[in-house]
Amino acid sequence: MKAMKYLSKLAVSAVLLFSTALSSFGQQDDPMYSQYMFNIQAFNPAYVGSWECVGFMVLGRYQWVGFNGAPDTHTFSVQAPLRNERIGLGLSVINDVIGLEKRLAFFTDYSYKLKVGFDANLRLGVKAGFTNYRHVLSDHTTVDPGDPAFEGDIRESFMPNFGVGLFLSSPRYYAGFSIPKMLKNDFEFGAGNYKTDYEFRNLNFIGGYVFDMGSYMKFKPSFMFRHTEAQPFVYDLNASFLFKEKFWLGGMFRSTTWKGGGSAIGFNAQFILNEKLRIGYAYDLNLADVGTYGNGSHEVMISYELRSLVKSFVSPRYF
């Protein structure tokens, strides 16, 4: 009952923040992940410190394989608790390439833990950093050679931003809400020939619960809701099974991710090699016509936890 009480409070807080921020939202450029339930730090700073040890994670997402200029995203994150176990610190680096556009983001993450029940914690998080943006306009193939709108090299070397988040968790469930980027960044280039609203705020709401399904299997449904103005409301539903605490296998469904686009289906798997090392893979296929021309989207993730530096391993981590 206590768990449901705090989940309800978190949901109410999310709705209030949603109502105050909605009026200024716009299109989003933040990457979308299929293995979001193990990569929460990328979009929610309150997640840092939840591993209760020094941990590293690398992830590569290769979207719409087979298309020239398709999005590629590489993410690196590290997190650690301080001697004061209430505080967690982290670093997130995201390299996102879409066609000739390149974005390289560096963000530091901070969280503070509050005890809210017998085995539940609520973390409050803040992230701050900047993004480098580059777009070589002259490399585009144009109908009119020498078009002044496609001349030059756009370099926006420093676009600062910050984000906030909440993360409620116990050994068996989690729920989180975050706005990864609070500031709206835009710029123009070449006397106004090239304009872009580069960064807009978007909302992320996630949750999941782990159920016992016998002595050797567990079941974890999870979800992620995202909203950005002028874009469809996106939801991602996942159902995963854990076998003998060693192997995750699940399926996912994602709603339409852009106007006129299609939903997606896919699967995810993760091998827990030991208490320190995990290797994950996810595949998703767009159900619109674009899905018939490519080879789907692939995502590979590796995480490593330095548990030898802290107290001995007590219970498995389910997210």
85 falls within a domain? yes
Average pLDDT value for residue range 85-106: 91
The three-class DSSP label of residue 54 is coil
pLDDT digits (tens, 9 = 90+) for 180-206: 999 877 766 655 555 555 567 789 999
Give 233's pLDDT tier (boundaries 50, 70, 90): confident
- Read off the CATH number of the domain in which 57 is found: 2.40.160.60
Answer yes or no: is pLDDT of 23 > 70: no
Indicate whether 172 belongs to any domain: yes
Would residue 118 count as lying in a domain? Answer: yes
- Tell me how many domains the chain contains: 1
In a domain, 315, yes or no: no
Flag whether pLDDT at 173 surpasses 80: yes
Higher pLDDT, 226 or 258: 226
Nearest to 168 by CA among 103, 217, 117, 216: 117
- In this predicted model, which residue has the larger pLDDT, 22 or 176? 176
Give the chain's mean pLDDT.
Answer: 82
- The pLDDT of residue 8 is 47
Considering the domain boundaries, does residue 185 fall inside one?
A: yes
Residue 309 in this model has a pLDDT that exceeds 90: no
Give whole-number Cα distances, 39 to 35, 74, 79, 303, in Å.
6, 12, 12, 10
- Tell whether 318 is covered by a domain: no
- Provide the domain limits for residue 196: 2-309
DSSP label at residue 84:
S
Q: Report the amino acid identity of residue 210.
A: V
pTM, whole model, 2 decimals?
Answer: 0.84
Rounded distance between C-alpha atoms, residue 145 and residue 127, angstroms:
43
Residue from 46, 55, 31 nearest 302 by CA: 55
Please, what sign has the CA dihedral across residues 164, 48, 57, 212?
negative
317 is a domain residue: no
